[in-house]
Amino acid sequence: MSNKEVTIHDIAEILGINSSTVSRALNNSTRVAKKTKDKVFEKAAELGYQRNHLASNLRKSKTFTLGVIVPRISRHFFSSAIAGIEETAFKAGYTVIICQSLESLEREESIINTLLSNRVDGVLVSISMETKNYDHLQGLKQRNIPFVFFDRHCDIANNSKVVIDDFEAAFNAVEHLIAQKSKNIAHFSGPQNLEIYKNRFKGYKAALEKHHILYREELVISSSLMEKDGATNVKKMLALPYKVDGLFCANDVVAISAIQYLKKLHIKIPEDIAIVGFSNESISSVIEPALTTVNQSGLEIGVASTNLLLDKISDKSKQQTHKTILVKTNLIVRKSSLRDSK
């Protein structure tokens, strides 16, 4: 009995009216008399009617659903961003489908297909490290599905994005290292297909220039910034003919594994090498010495990017607006870079 779901036709039949009137009544249309509406609402409640969004969405070709793609849900930054996204979307009557690429381009492509098939109204995406081919994202564009990058973006023409000011954050981080009397500052950089790493690198370079410190290409060591890269990078760095005394890492993960390896080598932090990371992952405050790092508010980015996306969705007309929102960061100074001696 409860197998068959209650439809507007059931309500219509019972009340002896047409299903179109029931539909309009439930949608509170002005075309339906108050008296009829009351009867419909009462009967709907009585029968436990639940509107079938599938049918409704199919007809309206609008789903009130947003797709979200992140590299990994359990990363603190992303889970905060998702929390902000969900809350903002929920308030606006949207539902959120969350997917994680796990840093795999293949999965990312597959996710986009799934989201397209589910006809989401818009997509929020923070791309994977592997994403050097943008065909799947162009696909979104061709289909005219609004999307907004947050945090990790790429340089597709005419996109909207919400990002932190990577340049400025990196600039400040490196200036801090310079203030701590670092002379030879190395940089562990990330995949250069990601704009965030390009900009962090640019900020690093600009800070050196401002303080008349010679930029040396060899001091920039690129990797995928995973845990395993810490030791490898440090080896490369120590093999250089410069006495590195400052290190700016493009994320916390590599900074922390670098610290661990340096400690094994009995190199003192911050005395020998002052270190700054990026992201303020929760581990960064736990490591000994605690890691100085750039704090970025995932929640704020999530909220801002959702609002931007919702704007784009409702603004179908002037779809051509493309915005970049820069969210401010702050440097959290901890022991890994603080030289009280001198």
- Residues found near a second copy in the complex (CB under 8 A): 2-3, 5, 48, 50-55, 57-58, 61, 63, 65, 72-74, 76, 78-80, 82-83, 86-87, 90, 95-100, 102, 107, 113-114, 116-119, 139, 142-144, 282-283, 285-286, 298-299
In the region spanning residues 49 to 88, those forming contacts with DNA, defined by CB under 7 A, are: 49, 51-52, 55-56, 58-61
Q: Which does 35 bind (CB under 5 to 8 A by kind): DNA, a second copy, none?
A: DNA
Verify cis geometry, omega within 30 degrees of 0, for the bond prior to 191.
no
Q: Which does 240 bind (CB under 5 to 8 A by kind): DNA, a second copy, none?
A: none
Give the Å distances, CA to CA, from 255 to 74, 217, 289, 337: 19, 19, 12, 12
Alpha-carbon distance of 267 to 187, in angstroms, equals 17
Alpha-carbon distance of 179 to 202, in angstroms, equals 19
- Contact window for DNA (CB under 7 A) among 4-12, 133-141, 226-234, 310-318: 4-12
Q: Which does 272 bind (CB under 5 to 8 A by kind): a second copy, DNA, none?
A: none
Shortest separation between residue 8's beta carbon and DNA, angstroms: 4
Contacting residues for 327 by C-beta, under 8 A, at least 6 apart = 162, 163, 164, 165, 296, 297, 300, 301, 304
Shortest separation between residue 78's beta carbon and a second copy, angstroms: 8
- Write the interaction track for DNA spanning residues 289-318; mark x where CB under 7 A is met and - where it is not: ------------------------------
Q: Which does 95 bind (CB under 5 to 8 A by kind): a second copy, DNA, none?
A: a second copy
Residue 68 pairs with which residues in a beta bridge? 98, 124
Shortest separation between residue 311's beta carbon and a second copy, angstroms: 21
Grouping H, G, I as helix, E, B as strand and the rest as coil, residue 15 is helix
- Return the DSSP state at 6: P
Number of other CB atoms surrounding residue 175 within 10 Å? 17
Sign of torsion, CA 242 268 177 297? positive
Closest to a second copy by CB, 189 vs 296, is 296
Closest to DNA by CB, 20 vs 138, is 20
326 membership: H or E segment, kind and range: strand 324-327
Q: Which does 321 bind (CB under 5 to 8 A by kind): a second copy, DNA, none?
A: none
- Write the interaction track for DNA spanning residues 25-54; mark x where CB under 7 A is met and - where it is not: -xx--xxxxxxx------------x-xx--
Shortest separation between residue 76's beta carbon and DNA, angstroms: 39
Alpha-carbon distance of 220 to 208, in angstroms, equals 13
**Is 332 a residue that touches DNA (CB under 7 A)?**
no
Q: Which does 21 bind (CB under 5 to 8 A by kind): a second copy, DNA, none?
A: DNA
Shortest separation between residue 269's beta carbon and a second copy, angstroms: 19
Contacting residues for 101 by C-beta, under 8 A, at least 6 apart = 69, 70, 71, 107, 108, 111, 127, 128
42 membership: H or E segment, kind and range: helix 34-47
Instruction: Compute CA 107 distance to the chain's CA centroid, rounded to the nearest angstrom.
Output: 17
Q: Contact residues for DNA (CB under 7 A)? A: 4-5, 7-9, 16-21, 23-24, 26-27, 30-36, 49, 51-52, 55-56, 58-61
